[in-house]
Amino acid sequence: MLISIIVSIYNGENTLRKCLDSLVMQSGKEYEIILVDDGSSDTSGQICDIYAEKYGFISVIHQQNGGLSSARKAGYHIAKGDYLMFFDCDDYVSSELIEVLKENINRSYPDLILYDYYLVKENGERVRRKLNVSSELINNYCADVFAINSIASGWNPEKEPYLTGFVWTRCIKRKILSDKMFISERECYTEDVLFNIELSCNISSIVYIEQPLYYYCVTDNSLTNRYRNNMWNMLLFRQKWITDYCEKHHLTSRATSRLERSWWSAIMMGFDNACNSVSVQSSVEEMRRIRQNQSTISCIESVKKQRSILPRNDKIKLILIAFRLYYIYYFLKHFWNKSV
């Protein structure tokens, strides 16, 4: 078995069939599909069973709800493929996916294959997204560069490549994976970032395919507009993990710009999430708590030194956060949301 495709599913009855149809229509039979029904309360589990009965290369796991990382880990444990891929049931793939991957695997058997994707908007519009992969990683792989490039874009994104953390843009050799890489999204926001950083030490070769093979579907009611009660704690977990990793691997001095940018992004995400709370007052209270955090205070001082090269919206947010203008931040955030 060459490739195992693991699809994590939770209440995806409206999109699951399109996802599975795109997978079962691939050319060649050197792949398996593992569907992990993560405690769905809709008909997703039944849909999985129907497809598994029809296609012999599909297997199904039904488990109690444990979250995305738990579902991925469950699929990883039973996968038979030399290479693994992790997809979401909201999305679908190119009809050429397996064929293109097989060609590249058979050519050099790399540890990791990266590829571009389409962002599919709710109105059906497709926007091509090209990965910002440095030639240094492709021509002369370095674990430190991979890890640093996975943290954040730094203050100069044109000069500092950022390797987006989306796991579904990767085809990964099984032998470089381990259980510890599957960090729960209930502990960490954007846990894929940590997955990729952890992966960096095990890679020796990368192939980058400049072709969109995945269709990432987003809706107007996606995560950016949904309040998460423990968002700030999850962001702190992420930042501490990244900081500790850099210290352990002696990367801190080389990653200073990216670490600062990552902290600043976390603060803005925390404030933006607070604005989605149930009331203005609860939003302001949460923003005040984030602002009082010592890491926030230190980061603001660092960001002030970079303000001349900040994007316009970042400059505005810096002023509002630095001077504790919480109500203005709240109403401005909602104005921006309506104008998008």
d(CA 193, CA 269): 15
pTM here is: 0.93
d(CA 93, CA 211): 12
Q: How confident is the model at residue 325 (pLDDT cuts 50, 70, 90)?
A: very high
Count Cβ atoms below 10 Å from residue 134 Cβ, excluding itself: 16
Q: What is the CATH number of domain 3-217?
A: 3.90.550.10
Q: So where are the chain's domains?
A: 3-217, 226-339
Q: How large is the average pLDDT for residues 20-42?
A: 94
Q: How far is CA 216 from CA 5, 92, 93, 131, 328, in A?
A: 16, 7, 9, 14, 33
197-239: pLDDT as tens digits: 999 999 999 999 999 999 999 986 555 568 999 999 999 999 9
